[in-house]
Amino acid sequence: MSQLAFLSFFAGFVLLAATLPATADQEYPTFEVHFSNGIVSPSVIEVPANSRFKLELRNEGSTPIEFESTALRKEKVLAPGASSFIVFHPLDPGNYAFFDDFHLDMPPARIVAR
């Protein structure tokens, strides 16, 4: 590949990358969810309807957890002591259940979009 072709390709790539949304760096309303051996806290999370938001997940227990919501089509596994996040698309007003799929004996929690 000639140097001119490479520079053209590189410039195009940089322009494309600059126009893509940076979802991880954008500021969204953020809500923390703590998991500890099957207990989810808080059990009800109120979020703004019709806007994106982020859940920060923290596993403070001694066993793995799996955040799971069939209604929202989201899941994430966390090892003991691990943390991560999920960014959600805007939700219609309503209630959305989620649970720890590795601790099904515990009651589900819910996200309430208002």
Distance CA 19, CA 92 (A): 28
Residue type, 5: A
Q: Reduced to 3 states, what is the DSSP secondary structure of residue 98?
A: strand
* Closest to 29 in 3D by CA, of 6, 56, 67: 56
β-bridge mates for residue 40, sequence order: 35
In this structure, how many other beta carbons lie within 10 angstroms of the beta carbon of residue 92?
A: 8
Classify each residue of 14-27 as buried b or exposed e, where b means 16 or more C-beta atoms within 10 Å of its C-beta: eeeeeeeeeeeeee
Q: What is the pTM of this model?
A: 0.75
- Rg of the Cα atoms in the chain: 19
Task: Classify residue 111 as exposed, middle or buried by CB count within 10 Å of its CB (0-12, 13-18, 19+).
Answer: buried
pLDDT tens-digit profile, the chain (114 residues): 567 665 566 555 555 555 555 545 568 999 999 999 999 999 999 999 999 999 999 999 999 999 999 999 999 999 999 999 999 999 999 999 999 999 999 999 999 999
pLDDT, tens digit, for every residue of 36-69?
Answer: 999 999 999 999 999 999 999 999 999 999 999 9
